[in-house]
Chains A and B, each alone.
Chain A
Amino acid sequence: MVPLGYFIVLSAILFCIGVWGVLRSRNAIVIFMAIELMLNAVNLSLIAFSSNMKHILVRFVQSMAPQDAANAIGTATSSGQVFVFLVMTVAAAEAAVGLAIIIYVYRMKDSVNVDDVNIMKW
């Protein structure tokens, strides 16, 4: 039984690697991949929590009948996973549109270096 804390720490580490990637890369596509990495870190953390819901909620459902308690815990657990499901969907949409934009910018500037896209300045 892996403690919840380990998963959270792992998620934090992945997230930070993603942030670092965003800050240090000049290639727009690699930045995008770092963003996907961040999203995945969050997904991991969500799943970790949702799987541990039964431990968290068990004291709160003592007053209910076993079947209701089971339902409640089931809903709580599934909610976390549904959320991850939706996050994946959004990540997909975002990746599609983002890459389309990168293609367009590449056509304009002939480069995917983000430093070249800098006309909105003083």
Chain B
Amino acid sequence: MTTLRVDAAAKVYGTGRRQFIAVSPTSFECRGGEIVGVIGPNGAGKTTLLRMIAGETAITSGTVRICGLGAGTRAARSVVGYVGDPPLFPGELTGSEWLKYICGHRASHPRERTAKHQWAIELADLDEFVGRRICEYSRGMTQRLALATAAVLGSDVLVLDEVLSGIDPLVARGLRGTVAKLATAGRLLIIASHELSALERLSTRVLVMLEGRVVSDVNAARFTSERVAELSLTGSGLDNRDKLLKRFVGAVGTDDGVSIPLTRGVTIEETIAVCRAERIPVASSRIRYRALEDILIDAAKESNGS
């Protein structure tokens, strides 16, 4: 069953000459259990799209339906857990007090509230610091509390804005584990982040946004299993790299050479053979798996080209 259906949803601020299109008409669908990454440069419309889904901002046109309910309605908001960037918490409360408050609104019985509170603490591994005031929390602690809050509030959909950003690798690993657990249990998670490597490991699907448009919707698992040949070119070779960019579909320039996708039967041997034929000196070569950064660069390139 489709958990989230976005149908030509758009967000426009202002009117006339001051009109600003934050999100152009966008359509996509997501199912429970998916982890959908939303990537794009700053100002691409990621946060606005997430707020539209969470019902935190009114939609100018189109529709967003969550479990068949219109986004922003009370019924829809009661199944969505949203964490903004930065997450908003009352600093004067302890993490435990905050979670008790949240759980009080999502439990049907005082005993269930206590159990949920404990569950949230275990879920995000908050044991060590949950008794401290939130204003004393580090970024990583705040992000863990944010995830626990969203998990308690959102029974079906979790919308997380930059929850994986700015944290140390160990905390990031823990958060990724928690996100994966929530998805395994059937929830839909939509995560906007600039941490592309984290999304690569987590996402089942990635939406690429540029200038308010979803320009690419890719299956992350399939995409990241594709390989790329990276050729490092010496000085004179760099002058001739346009030949390689024209010769291989999807090839992009890097700081010191070119990056060529090994798709459509293209092999590393073939790329080096072409370099030899074109008398382009290659300093070094390596093969790596494609990264989300490649999608972003490709999308930006296409956007600039059009």
Q: Tell me, yes or no, whether A binds B.
A: no
- Measured CB to CB, the residues of A under 8 A from B are none
